[in-house]
Amino acid sequence: MNTLVLKGVRPYGEGPLSDVLIRDGVIAGITSHDPNTDPHTDPHTDPNTPDTVVDGNGAILLPGFVDLHTHLREPGREDTETIESGSTAAALGGYTAVFAMANTDPVTDNAVVVEHVARRGREVGLVDVHPVGAVTVGLRGEQLAELGTMARAGVRVFSDDGHCVHDPLIMRRALEYSKALDVVVAQHAEEPRLTAGAQAHEGANAARLGLQGWPAAAEEAVVARDCLLARQVGARLHVCHVSAAGTADVLEWAKARGTAVSAEVTPHHLLLTDDRLATYDPVNKVNPPLRTAADVERLRQALADGVVDCVATDHAPHAPQDKDTEWSAARPGMLGLQTALSVVVKTMVETGLLDWRGVARVLSERPAEIAGLPDHGRPIAVGEPANLTLVDPAATWVVRGADFASIAANTPFEGMELPARVVATVLRGRVTAAAGRIPA
Amino acid sequence: MRHLLGTEGIDPADAVAILDTAAGLKQSLEGREVRKLPTLRGRTVITMFYENSTRTRVSFEIAGKWMSADVVNVSSSGSSVSKGESLRDTALTLAAAGADCVVVRHPASGAAHRLAGWLKDVGTSVVNAGDGMHEHPTQALLDAATLRERLAGGDATGQDLRDRRIAIVGDVLHSRVARSNVHLLTALGAHVTLVAPPTLLPTGVGAWPVTVSHDLDAELPSQDAVMLLRVQAERMHGGFFPSAREYSIAYGLNERRLGLLPEHAVVLHPGPMLRGMEIASSVADSPRAAITEQVRNGVHVRMAVLYHLLAHEEENA
Amino acid sequence: MAPRQRGATDPAGERELLSAGDVARTVARMAHQIIEKTALDAPSAPAVVLMGIPTRGAPLARRLADRIRDFSGVAVPTGTLDVTLYRDDLRRGPTRPLETTKLPAGGVDDRLVVLVDDVLFSGRTIRAALDALRDHGRPRAVQLAVLVDRGHRELPIRADYVGKNVPTARSEEVHVLLEEFDQRDGVVLR
């Protein structure tokens, strides 16, 4: 029997301090915090002494975070991230489940790669690694990948992320076919003809900097089309990394008419704007691009209102030689796993747009629901699986990409002071991260 | 001044100083037997051209050599540039080899800015000789020098372009010449009108300190100068306008339109010209056109830029 | 305004070396010396041109030419020679603006060029002027006229015509004031 006690924590940041007893990966008891009991009695002499105790010191207890959008780069680019280093970053960032995107090399478009990624994830054991399967063979957008075979191998989410499934007929078939498998298709919405050669959000900054424009309509148009298709065939649709205010409008309209659509927004699109492009430093290059302050404002509101369902990191590690280049040669993408919580707190909690229940919703409950994970994003209650994250809301820290667990260091938040830190992460009753370190 | 990366945000006093130096150099070199100054003896200028541009490269090379700098040209064929070496490594290599100044032409917008960042601790100056669709500051400076000289009709030392009206016509969207000229000419007090079809104007042009027009005939009578931009053939295939013929009818500077300009107005073109399309041959060859003067001034302006970057004490910038 | 006492030190720590009248007399004397030494009024005289080194050498050259014309009836052409681009100390200060170079009609080839400057100090400006002159042609001979020679030469250069020799400390500054720039004539030590 394995026991863990989280002492002096506040579930959802509400109410008085509690002590949470976890036995064999399940929440076994939630009691009023008793500061007088000494948790450090010897287990050999006292059979009731837990194996592990975490002193919460009043930290906020949330359901473990779930990231629908992570690039772990293995197989293919293990020089930038591995399933082990990415799992470590995820645990330190408060995540108990991540969805590893399919644009690996080889592409995760078949059960062999799916099983490899899932097995490596289990071996590392710091976070539940769920492989995302490609929608089309080789992410080429031409022919459906073997969705059924991959679903039987455990895939819950399919996406060609990095590429848009732009052919409307292929997208229709993918949505239709997915219905039988109880999986969801996650679309990277980007009309490729409208973004050929695009380098930056089409607007005043791109015009000034001579960077080819990336029109918001390229995203909005595909999201509108896919919402219509999903409704037409009665399938579920998930929209990756919403970046434009207009996309939120389309989602609001689609949801109002009963379309089964969900959507995610990245932390960087909640905080950063294309004003940062003036230095031409590609650490700010990302797909979809950073947009305007008005877009940021609309996305925050949409997340608060539930028009956008959840936050997903789009954690995208890149090697220095792929980032420290001229702008157009650089790969798009940013690290996100270890900064997501802090950025959400900065943009949503400190602004009063979300309370801690809301944070639990956007970082854990909704993403778990969208992906159909039965044991994540669950209520903090007796009998529920102990996938939990403990957060110190009062902490502040300065971002240093070099200190992250990821092999790559391409964080756009370098040097920023951010609020809130993960105190501990618990996966099925086991502490996977505590005080910024992986327990031995 | 350590680098010349663009004309955006340029101090008008600095711009006038460079134009004055260029005019001084031009005047002092005119009619001389020995067109060589010892000013930059012992300094090394490396030109790095990742795009073909004989005219700009040669102009910088002559400028450097007339100032006695050692000029080394690195072009994209037959060097590490074509062997897949990163821009960063190439730049650091050239700086380590002793370049005091790197003149860079690159298809990526912002390449010169990145270079200046990588060379921050080395002390090498960077001159942007054209980066993607972003800026081409020496072209704007030579355009301004030509305009100032022509419109003043005499010694223009110390003058800016206050209240002059200049129309820039053509592919503004893809043009680094247009961007650099908008920044520089407006900084010098000129009023700039951009004339182009909407497809060749950037989204966001509304934030620029210019007037935008789609009607060339209506703008010409009030201009002191008209600057034509090169229209690249591939733009046509990109659907930015239907045909060369239609473009020429709407935006080409022909004899009739030349007649709409005031007597004193100057015609500029950065070259290379597409005769018959953006400019009629007779207009290009008319005395109103200052196109060969632009090329001549280009050398003096680039000499002036090298002088302002290299002939002073080290800055801790 | 009361005439300033020669040699007096004013409250700003400025000592007058030459008054306005002294400057005029000195220029006149130098004009005579140039006429005499170059024999420019002789029938077989060489063609003499005066090249002023900006900024203050330029008006001095014109004044000398005026006096020479007054005294000899010979109109000596003048010009200006900017030496900025030939200086060896450009990297020891901020960017220097260029001055005007204007050769007299007919240039300098085979002429006797008299370089004119206000103050002769290290000699480096004159070294630069000799280099600049060489790029503009091949004079028959070059001479040097200065209003003030303050010593401290760093190069083997001497003047052919000196208005006034002034012993100075290296730390002192000699300023030639000319109406064209300074609203009055004079030479002061600061």
Per-residue pLDDT of B53-81, as tens digits, reads 889 999 999 999 999 999 999 876 655 55
CB contact under 8 A, B312 and C95: yes
Q: How far is the alpha carbon of A364 from chain B, nearest alpha carbon, in Å?
A: 39
Q: What are the chain C neighbours of B123 within 8 Å (beta carbons)?
A: none
Per CB-CB distance under 8 Å, the chain C contacts of B17 are: 95, 97
Q: What angle do CA B125, B128, B130 make, to 5 degrees?
A: 165
Give the distance from residue B117's alpha carbon to the nearest chain A alpha carbon, in angstroms: 9
Overall fold of domain A64-371: TIM Barrel (3.20.20)
Q: Which of B27, B32, B313 sits opposite C135 (nearest CB)?
A: B32
C95 part of contact set with chain B, CB < 8 Å: yes
More confident residue, B77 or C189: C189
Q: Are C116 and C145 in contact (CB under 8 A)?
A: yes
Q: A–B contact (≥3 CB pairs within 8 Å)? A: yes
Binary contact (B313, C93; C-beta < 8 A)? yes
> Residue C117's beta-bridge partner residues?
C146
User: How far is Cα A236 from Cα A248, in angstroms, rounded to an integer?
Assistant: 17
For B12-135+296-310, give the CATH class.
alpha beta
**Measured between CB atoms, does C66 come within 8 Å of chain B?**
no
Q: How confident is the model at residue B317 (pLDDT cuts 50, 70, 90)?
A: very low
CB pairs under 8 A between A and B: 76
Q: Could A210 and B176 be called an inter-chain contact, meaning their C-beta atoms sit closer than 8 Å?
A: yes
**pLDDT of amino acid B237:** 75
State the Cα angle at A409 between A408 and A412, rounded to 5°.
135
Please indicate if any CB of chain B lies within 8 Å of the CB of A205: yes
Which residues in B lie closer than 8 A to residue C136 (C-beta atoms)?
Answer: 32-34
| Site from C99, C100, C135 to mutate, B interface, most B CB atoms within 10 angstroms | C135
Interface check A280 vs B, CB under 8 A: yes
Q: How confident is the model at residue B33 (pLDDT cuts 50, 70, 90)?
A: confident
Contact A204 B204 (CB under 8 A): yes
Distance to chain B for C80, nearest Cα, Å:
11
Low-confidence ranges of chain A (pLDDT < 50): 42-43
Contact yes or no for C136 and B33 at CB 8 A:
yes
Q: Do A210 and B8 touch (CB under 8 A)?
A: no
Q: Within an 8 Å CB–CB cutoff, is residue A12 touching chain B?
A: no
Name which of B229-238, B290-299, C156-165 the model is least confident about. B229-238
Domain B137-291 has CATH 3.40.50.1370: yes
Please give the pLDDT value at position A180.
Answer: 96
Q: What is the mean pLDDT of chain B?
A: 93
Catalytic residues of A: 314
Every domain range in chain B assigned CATH 3.40.50.1370:
12-135+296-310, 137-291
Q: Which residues of B27-39 are buried (b: 16+ CB within 10 A; e: fewer)?
A: bbbeeeeeeebbb
- The pLDDT confidence band at residue C57, using thresholds 50, 70 and 90, is very high
Q: Do B204 and A280 touch (CB under 8 A)?
A: no
Q: Quick check: B141 and B300 in contact, CB under 8 A? A: no
- Residue B17 sits at the chain C interface (C-beta within 8 Å): yes
Domains and CATH numbers, chain C: 42-185 (3.40.50.2020)
Contact A325 B86 (CB under 8 A): yes
For B217, residues 6+ apart whose C-beta sits below 8 A from its C-beta are: B257, B260
Chain A CA closest to residue B174: A210
CB contact, 8 Å: C86 with chain B? yes
Question: Domain residue spans in chain A?
Answer: 3-60+383-400+416-434, 64-371
Q: Which chain B residue has the Cα nearest residue C82?
A: B28
Using CA atoms, how far apart are residues B189 and C110, in angstroms rounded to an integer? 47
Phi, psi (degrees; rounded to nearest 5) at A165: -75, 85
Contacts of A44 (CB under 8 A, 6+ apart): none
For the cut 90, the answer to whether the pLDDT of residue B316 exceeds it is no
> Taking an 8 Å Cβ-Cβ cutoff, which residues of chain B contact chain A?
8, 86-88, 106-111, 113-114, 117, 131-135, 176, 179, 202-208
Instruction: Check if the beta carbon of residue C98 is closer than 8 Å to that of residue B21.
Output: yes
- Does C105 contact chain B (CB < 8 Å)? no
How high is the pLDDT of residue C190?
87
Alpha-carbon C33 to chain mean position: 14
Helix (H/G/I), strand (E/B), else coil: C36: helix
Residues in B closer than 8 angstroms to C101, CB to CB, are 24, 27-28
Of the residues C80, C83, C84, C85, the best mutation for testing chain B's interface (the one with the most B CB atoms within 10 Å of its CB) is C85
**Out of B117, B135, B205, whose CB is closest to A210?**
B135
Residue C86: is its pLDDT beyond 50?
Answer: yes
What is the reported pTM? 0.92
SS3 C27: helix
What is the nearest CA distance from A315 to chain B, expressed in angstroms?
25
Mutate which: A279, A280, A323, vs B, most B CBs within 10 A = A280
- Specify the CATH superfamily of domain A3-60+383-400+416-434: Urease, subunit C, domain 1 (2.30.40.10)
Nearest by CB to residue C85, choosing from B39, B308, B314, is: B39
3-state secondary structure of A436: coil
Choose among A204, A279, A321: nearest Cβ to B86.
A321
In angstroms, the CA B94 to CA B124 distance is 10
User: How many helical (H) and strand (E) elements, i.e. helices and strands, does chain C have?
Assistant: 4, 8
